Structure 1
Amino acid sequence: MKIKSISTYLPFALLFASCVSNNKEQPVSDSTFVDSTNTEYTLSKSDRLEDYLLALDSNDIQSVSKVTAKFNELFPEKDTVQGDKAVGLIIDFMNKLTIFGNRTTFDENQNYSALVDVEFNEGNADIPEELKADYEKINKNGFRVREVEGMPDLEINPFYIQNNFYPYISKNFEIYLQQMAQENKEGFAMDAAIIIPYQYLVQRVIWWEDFAKNAKDPWLKAKADEQYEWYLTNLTIGMDNTPVIEGQQVSPYFKDAYAYLTELAPNSAAYKKLERYINFLNDNKIEDAKALLPTLIGSHMN
């Protein structure tokens, strides 16, 4: 399962020098003009890393090793403010690679099932000889192999992020990444169907709501809001193969999920937003419930 993740971090503004003009009633002297050839704009470390990332190949997973080396060059010491932004950029880039890097990583004639979950199963010794070079390349560049609809698929390896970047990020961002890693490990959906217990879905909605509410950095709050909206939308309408409403009735999965939400977090923003909708569904007023959907999820509707 790929948590929607993943997403674009907010651009970071450059600091520009300003000059104070002379009294506007006085003639403008030559000293008021700035020679642009002598003006220097200092890029932050995260800006420099972003420029470096833009030049890398987002189809080649070996780009991750290159950007990790560049990160170590730019961040010889801890700097959590800049580190959060820089690591966020790297993770965004790695998320692109999980989409575009598959075709350059996997041979359609090769069976990669032996590599699935090998990091979590501690089965490295069982890797077939013909896959060892592939595994080394994948692992060295921060990925692991999962299986989606019988096909190998790249996923970010949380151990790589932890080992290479945790010392340079804030505690809040570390918590964010740990939650994302846990959710990736547990999974979420397969074949357009939710596969986790309803309790997990509700818990994730509430967890991200609380985290976003307490996040002080605007860019981190924005990322948390994305996760919250993603899970809340799925709690509201389900997915193609696990819809909330089936044949003018509420699916048992979501009926249980709404009862659990009501019991677990009746004061949450999520419950308050869905309360009327849930009440209509509980009363089997399906059309009334459907009429609320545009105001509940808006652009998320198909």
Structure 2
Amino acid sequence: MIKKGLAAFILLISIFSCKKEASKTSQEKVEIDTMSKTEHAKSLFRPVDTVCFSSNTTENYIIALQWHKDKIIKKVAQNSPRQNDKLYEDYIKIRNKYILCLSENLVKVLIDYVNYYDSNSNSYKFPENVKKLAAELKKGDLEFREIGEGYTEIWSVPDHYFSIFRDNVTADYNSYIEQLAKESEGLYSADAGIVISWKELGDRTIFWENFISKYPQSLLLPRAKEIYDSYLTDYLLGMDNTPTHEHSDGTLYDENRKEFNRIIKKYPNSYVAKKSKELISLFDAKVPDEEIHKKMMDRNSK
């Protein structure tokens, strides 16, 4: 009798275990099927086109940006550095097109953005709709950026590209992308004046001079030279609202003379140092302002 009872008990346990296992298997199958359907849906999804349409919403463009970012990250992991150089160029074009579309959609917000600045508290006070838009842009690694003279634009966050392509492109591209990430952390100029310090401008100019020398065959050379020429001109002569000298009497400002001497001492063999020496000599010799500008703009002596 005891043996029969024990056998029945074991049978019940076996049946219960089988049902439990079957239930577990069924649940796992449902989860796998759900995952498969989700992956299938993702594979079929296509973002809105880069051609701007007023019917597309901010959310449409943000989803598109996220989709392209995920796609690029997967490709970067599979590609060679040289292939990723090309991928970087293509990706920039795609993002810029979407940013243009977003800017068209949000043109009123961009125009009104500076009006949200409260001079009493020395800070911005945004309405809820702008706060929500800023949060939405952040999902696409974008931000509102005031660029001076009442203008606001939509920019990629500084480290967006470098966070994706870091150490996965050729050396010149890696250096280029990293430097652009650093330089876009804040405004360079606004309201016809240089915002960063003279020292930082000097160091940036040296960086691009070294980049040009180090990577003479780089496909990035034209862009690097353009950046370098712009920085060098600003470093030597300044901008309308931040000149390096007094126009009325041709006196070089002390802070700029000090900065030029720093560059001359630290980078004596650089072209920046050469032009800085030349500029100091010209001002000390009381050469007319117009003639000094002409000489400083001359790149043929490089």
Q: Quick check: TM above 0.5?
A: yes
Report SS of the residue matched to 1:208.
helix
**Per-residue displacement from partner, 1:49-95 (whole Å, max 9, x unpaired)?**
xxxxxx72379864644543554575561321010122133235545
Q: How far off its partner does 1:192 sit?
A: 0.9
Q: 1:261 aligns with which of 257, 263, 281?
A: 263
Distance 2:275 2:180 in 1: 24
Higher relative contact order (CA 8 A, sep 6+): 1
Aligned to 1:292: 295
Question: What does residue range 163-202 of structure 1 map to in structure 2 within 5 Å?
Answer: 163-166=163-166, 168-202=168-202
Aligned to 2:50: 56
Contact kept, 8 Å, 2:50 with 2:101, in 1: the verdict is no
Distance 1:297 1:183 in 2: 28
Aligned to 2:69: 68
Report SS of the residue matched to 2:78.
coil
Aligned to 1:222: 222
Contact kept, 8 Å, 2:65 with 2:98, in 1: the verdict is no
Contact kept, 8 Å, 1:213 with 1:221, in 2: the verdict is no
**Residue 92 and residue 250 in structure 1: after superposition, are their counterparts in 2 closer, same or farther (change >3 A)?**
farther
**Residue 140 and residue 195 in structure 1: after superposition, are their counterparts in 2 closer, same or farther (change >3 A)?**
same
**Match of 2:285, as an amino acid?**
D
Q: 250-259 vs 194-203, which deviates more?
A: 250-259
Normalised by the length of structure 2, the TM-score is 0.63
> Which is greater in Rg?
2
Question: What does residue range 121-200 of structure 1 map to in structure 2 within 5 Å?
Answer: 129-131=128-130, 133-149=132-148, 150-166=150-166, 168-200=168-200
Aligned to 1:243: 243
**Residue 271 and residue 93 in structure 1: after superposition, are their counterparts in 2 closer, same or farther (change >3 A)?**
farther
Aligned to 1:209: 209
Aligned to 2:82: 81
Report SS of the residue matched to 1:266.
coil
Q: 90-99 vs 245-254, which deviates more?
A: 90-99
Contact kept, 8 Å, 2:162 with 2:181, in 1: the verdict is no
Contact kept, 8 Å, 1:238 with 1:244, in 2: the verdict is yes
Distance 2:276 2:52 in 1: 39
**Per-residue displacement from partner, 1:241-276 (whole Å, max 9, x unpaired)?**
223342232452433332222222221022224533
**Per-residue displacement from partner, 1:199-226 (whole Å, max 9, x unpaired)?**
1111111111112211265213333222
Report SS of the residue matched to 1:284.
coil
**Residue 293 and residue 152 in structure 1: after superposition, are their counterparts in 2 closer, same or farther (change >3 A)?**
closer
Distance 1:262 1:162 in 2: 32
Report SS of the residue matched to 2:260.
helix
Contact kept, 8 Å, 1:201 with 1:235, in 2: the verdict is yes
For structure 2, the 5+ residue unaligned runs are: 1-48, 117-124
Distance 2:126 2:241 in 1: 35
Q: 1:272 aligns with which of 268, 274, 295?
A: 274
Distance 2:218 2:99 in 1: 26
Report SS of the residue matched to 2:153.
strand
Contact kept, 8 Å, 1:58 with 1:93, in 2: the verdict is no
Distance 2:100 2:244 in 1: 29
Q: How far off its partner does 1:289 sit?
A: 2.1
Normalised by the length of structure 1, the TM-score is 0.63
Percent of residue pairs bearing the same amino acid type: 21
Contact kept, 8 Å, 1:248 with 1:286, in 2: the verdict is no
**Match of 2:194, as an amino acid?**
I
